[in-house]
Structures are given as structure tokens and as C-alpha cells.
Structure 1
Amino acid sequence: MITFRRLAGADLPLVGRRLSHPHVARWWNQDSSPEAVARDFGPATRGEDTSENLIALLDGEPLGLVQFGRLADEPADRAAFASLVAVPPHAVTLDYLVGEPDRVGRGLGTRMISAALRRVWREYPRAEAVLVAVVAANTASWRALEKAGMTRVGSGAMEPDNPVDDPLHHVYRADRPS
């Protein structure tokens, strides 16, 4: 069973290790040094960030990281999505990673995304949709989104996290179940 708990200060070394794994570093392209992790994730542990950062747990053991955010709280991100697709007023976006290399390619990312979507519908009652942008070259990620029930609704240029990537991104959407 996949559950979530809020990111805590004690989790920052774990986040740093996960960000340093090649399968994560390739797509997140984020400094994994203790100082950078404290700078980038510390505000979330103190409730100072508009996004929600959660440790995903598989049967109580850390599996990955999931970030949720209301696009209305991030004007630049909202504008990037809106350049490609319609963005509902209360849309939420998410980002995710499966931390350990031996857990990649086993369907756990799909399960984590599915659990994350259920959490969005529960925790964000006004959210009409979840939008996720993924660089087109990250086939494993967008396939996991599709397997989790999300639909590709657009493709186009967005600023990639990693400058080695082409700007082509696919945008996926899940609508609130009725």
C-alpha cells in the first residue's frame, strides 16, 4: 500500500541521496549537496512553501518523493502550462520521483502517481484537474502517467529542468472523478 507523509527536516539527507542517483539526477538536474537540499526543500519542511512535499511510502518504507502545487500559486508555471493547454482556475500540478534504482521499472511509479491523484482529489476539493508536464525524452515517466490514467492533452516547448534536454514536453491531465 502506498501512503504519504509530509517531508520533515530529518528526511533531507534521504532526499539528497535520492537526488544523487543517476536515474533521478538525469531528469531532476538538482544539486544534491546537503546545503542545496536544505535550501531547496527546507522551506517545505517548515511550512514556508506554497507546494506540498511528501515522502511516498510503500508498506511504510520510503519509496519516493511527490510534490503538489496549485498552479494559481505559481504564475510562471501556470503561464508555461497555459501556453500549451487550457488551465482550469484551481488546477494542481505534481512532480514525483522513485528514489531507489532497484525500484524503477517495476510499476511502482504508476502506483505512486495513482495514489497521489487520489490524495489530490481528497486534499484539494476545489481542484478540477491535475496537470503534469514531462520532457518528451523521459518515456518512462510519461508512460507511468498514462498507466495511472492520465491523458496527454498537449505537447510543445517548455523550459526543461535539464539544459541537455530538448524543450519538447508532453502535458498530461487527469480530471476530478465525478
Structure 2
Amino acid sequence: MTDLEALVPAFTWRRLAEEDFPLLGRWLERPHVARWWHHETSAEAVARDFGPAARGEEPSEDLLVFADGRPFGLVQRCRLGDYPDYLAELAAVVDVPDGAMTIDYLIGDADRVGLGLGPRMIRAVLDGLWADHPSATCVIVPVPVANRASWRALEKAGLVRVAEGELEPDNPIDDRAHYLYRIDRNDRIGRPGTDRG
């Protein structure tokens, strides 16, 4: 094992539960998260928006990600076909095949931002997605053009930019310009060179 490999944490995850909402609320308040997620952070708002998925009442999956056993981030994943309006918005910009899924993600632990862990977390969760969703054909992820850190993390995780177009931003201060990234089930995650900054 190299020194670098020894520093890479083991990622695990489980479905977000209601007892995690206070932690998630604190993460959503942090400037590096609030800038892009632009989410209400009151206890009521977090329960309203994340409660249905936590209780299994909504088809999306909100996953609390741990790095070496410590809460680290959140990854949302869903089948685009379960959200027809969102599917239609993306399909106006890029080809969306049957079985396509998407993810969204954040690193809530501010002490671990900027250390190169985001791409590794994305890769780990994608490995799990292929195993958990055998009918998934690909993952398509839209990212605001202005959010360079996010789209660079996707590139380092092995996703490829396949389109550019206008989509509704999460934060109204942003314009509509988005990049769209894709990885197919048969693509090799972590191609040589994808860990380079």
C-alpha cells in the first residue's frame, strides 16, 4: 500500500434517517454548501424536503456518506424516469436513454473540502449504484458552469462532459448555463489520469 492509499478513507453509506436531519441542516448552512444547494435550513424545511425519501415515500435515495466511519457528505440518487418534469428538462439538452439515473452530492464536513475526497466519494457511490440498480444504463449529472469544483470532481471521478445547455439553476443568483456529464454502466470508473487535478 502506498502512502497516498493509506490516506484515502473507506467510504460507506446508508439511507438518510430523520435523526440525521439536524446534521444535514448544519451542513446546508455552511457557506460552501449553501452557495450551490440554496436550501432552507430550518428543521421544518429539512424535514419537509428530506422526510419523504427518508421514510421511503419518494423514489429518490438520500444517502448519508461516511469516511472512515465519520459522517462526511450526502449523495442523492434517483431514476430520471421517476421525475418526468426533470427528465423532460434534461432531454431538451441531452439524449436521456431509458434507465438513466442522476446524482447530486455535497461534502458537509468543511474540514475535508478541497482534499480530493469528492471524486473518490462519487466513484464509490457510483460503484454502489451499479450494484443496487441493475437496470441503470447510465448516470447523467447537470452542473452549473460556474461550479468548477463540482464539475472537476465529476471529471476526476470518470464522468465525461457530453453537452452544454440552459437549465433552471438551484440558486437564483446563477445563470442557466450548465454542463452535463455522463458515465455509462460499461465505462471503467477511475480511468488512468482521472485523479489528476
Q: Please give the TM-score of this superposition, normalised by the length of structure 2.
A: 0.89
Highest Rg: 1 or 2? 2
* Partner AA of 1:135 in structure 2: P
Counterpart mapping for 1:102-113 below 5 A: 102-113=111-122
The Cα of 1:120 is off from its aligned counterpart by 1.1
1:34 corresponds to which residue?
A: 43
Q: Look up the equivalent residue of 2:146 and give its one-letter code.
A: A
Q: Structure 2: any 5+ residue segments left out of the alignment?
A: 1-9, 188-197
CA shift at 1:3, angstroms?
Answer: 1.1
Q: CA deviation at 1:177?
A: 2.1
Partner of residue 139, structure 1: 148
Aligned counterparts of 1:101 and 1:80: Cα–Cα separation in 2: 32
- Give, in whole Å, the separation in 2 of the partners of 1:87 and 1:173: 10
The aligned counterpart of 1:160 is: 169
Distance in 1, Cα, partners of 2:186 & 2:69: 27
RMSD: 0.8
Moved over 3 A (4+): none
One-letter code aligned to 1:89: D
Q: How many residues align?
A: 178
SS of the equivalent of 1:42 reads helix
Identity %: 57
Q: Which amino acid aligns with 1:52?
A: E
TM-score, L = length of structure 1: 0.98
Deviations 1:122-173 (A, max 9, x none): 0110111000000000000000000000000000100000000010000000
Cα distance between partner residues in 2 of 1:33 and 1:79:
31
Q: Following the alignment from structure 1 to structure 2, what is the Cα–Cα distance between the partners of residues 122 and 77?
A: 24
Mark the runs of 5 or more structure 1 residues left unpaired by the alignment.
none
